[in-house]
Amino acid sequence: MYKGIGGSSGYGIGKIVIIKNDMPVYEIKSPENKENEIKRFLQAVDKFIEKTTKIAEHMRKTAGEKNAEIIEGHIIMLSDPFMQDEIKDKINSGMCAEEAVDKVCEQFIEMFTMTDDELTVQRATDIKDIRLRMLKILTGDRDIDISEVPKGSIIVAKDLTPSMTAGIVKENVEGIITQAGGFTSHSAILARALEIPGVFSVDDITDNARDGMEAVIDGKEGCVILNPSKEEITEYTTKKEKYLKNKEELNKYRNKATKTADSIEIELFGNIGKPEDAKNVKDNDGEGIGLFRTEFLFMENTQIPSEEEQFEAYKKTAVMMDGKEVIIRTLDVGGDKNIPYLGMEKEDNPFLGFRAVRYCLDRKEMYKIQLRALIRASVFGKIKIMIPLVTCVNELREVKVLVEDIKADLDRENIPYDKNISVGVMIETPAASEIADLLAKEADFFSIGTNDLTQYTMAVDRGNSKVAYLYSVYNPAVIRSIKRIISAAANENIIAGMCGEAAADPLLTPLGLKEFSVNASSILRTRAQIAKWTKAEADKVADEVMKCATQEEVYEILKRYER
């Protein structure tokens, strides 16, 4: 049995198909005509954009808007004038287009990889994908068409690029196994969106697996069995049938209120990246939007989006949700979200640097445009404002002052808005967790971002396989942090929700959250899980977990009480 990171739940039984996507070989030579060579490069860019647009359109239909954005991001990166100018400069210095693309991409890959931050490393994965596909276009090599794998396949690869994963035909693939990647890698995100079982970061799997070899995959526990015995096949066939039956039974929770077993009402929302995604949340019976990431408005523009552009996007979402709650996170730029026209300087460690609310409060005029658009849109629904990466009370106070100033301006202009619009904070840093009691006195609500909270608390790069064992929300340090946040909110009678990946983890249901915000596909499963617990039962498990000394002990107890 091989162990890895369970990145997409479910069970798969099938035959292995090894996917190799080797770099094409090209001849290093100086171009006879540099102008023509630049033209050849730009023609390859046009072809890349055309092919990538088609891939994104396919992904939009199969896995939703948010996942299509991963692919569309490649167009944005390659279209970046800075990147293109670097490649043109290399061609003018005497390199052929292939070598120029290769060298410039390698520079970006090294830059992103050196940050030792998982999300930034994902950018390196994107650049590797761009480089590979551009070189194939320039050399005339054929792209791998992963859609051609036969029914019953378990795909095995060193890593799956986003463009490769996007081509998967869900009905043909029993599972995905990769040697690299983790829970938040692009391949894992897309596997979850396609509801294909996936295990990632499995050491030496490409050396030990063979084409046609039978395999079993457990995407929940992160296990892979090569050449399983008859008994193991029977065992996992039973598990798979039970898993699929449970999924089917979730439909009985559709159009039902989210309640605990003792009838305590809980809010169950969905996460979105664009106004159009709100439809997916409604289709999956979500009770509101718990996290609307606004970066798309900025990333899809070549300049700061105007107040009207932003207003229309927020208004559209509020109207689509028809009076249901919509929590909109203000611009979370920086870290892995570099928007060229904002002119952000390169930092050695951008995830600990000038980003999110820090950047916005330093660019108040720009920030006020977004806040004004949000407040104006609030008259069309139940919009709430959420501030990302808060680390001190002063940041919350500064934003609230800006909100009050904007309200005063709107009053003078006789523009309607929700006079009681809520301003809350995203708790995703150890600093915010430590002062949760102080923040709770001044914030209208909390939303826990477990992805960053776990990473920052454990000082662990999520994508680094060497320390992946430490990146766990079950670690006592993280569990205690979450409980502290929940208690601080309860003491001040404000809602504490969760919008990170852990919100959909059934083992964490007993911790005492009042609001869960998950991917649309996880809404019904989360509602079913909440309905299995009474408050007294959940409190008992939470108290027991708080006494644990290791993440193994925490996990063991949560598994013991799993329902």
Alpha-carbon dihedral angle through residues 323, 326, 331, 336, given to the nearest 10 degrees: -140
With H, G, I as helix, E, B as strand and everything else as coil, classify residue 516.
strand
Read off the tokens for 105. Answer: 């991409």
Which candidate, 204, 206, 207, 235, places its Cα nearest to that of 221?
235
Cα–Cα dist 189/167, whole Å:
14
Cα–Cα dist 383/374, whole Å:
8
Count of beta carbons in the 10 Å neighbourhood of residue 309: 14
What are φ and ψ of residue 273, in 5° steps?
Answer: -120, -15
Read off the tokens for 461. Answer: 């790069």
Helix H segments across 195-294? 205-208, 230-249, 277-283
Alpha-carbon torsion 346, 351, 353, 357, what sign? positive
Tokens 């409604």 belong to which residue? 282
Cα–Cα dist 395/403, whole Å:
13
Alpha-carbon dihedral angle through residues 454, 292, 320, 252, given to the nearest 10 degrees: -10
- AA identity, residue 493: N
Read off the tokens for 310. Answer: 């932003």
What angle separates helix 450-458 from helix 476-491, to the nearest 10 degrees? Answer: 130
Catalytic residues: 186, 499
What angle separates helix 65-79 from helix 118-139, to the nearest 10 degrees? Answer: 70
Give the list of residues 6+ apart from residue 39 with CB closer than 8 angstroms, or none.
none
Which candidate, 247, 251, 254, 271, places its Cα nearest to that of 65?
271
Which candidate, 371, 374, 349, 376, places its Cα nearest to that of 360?
371
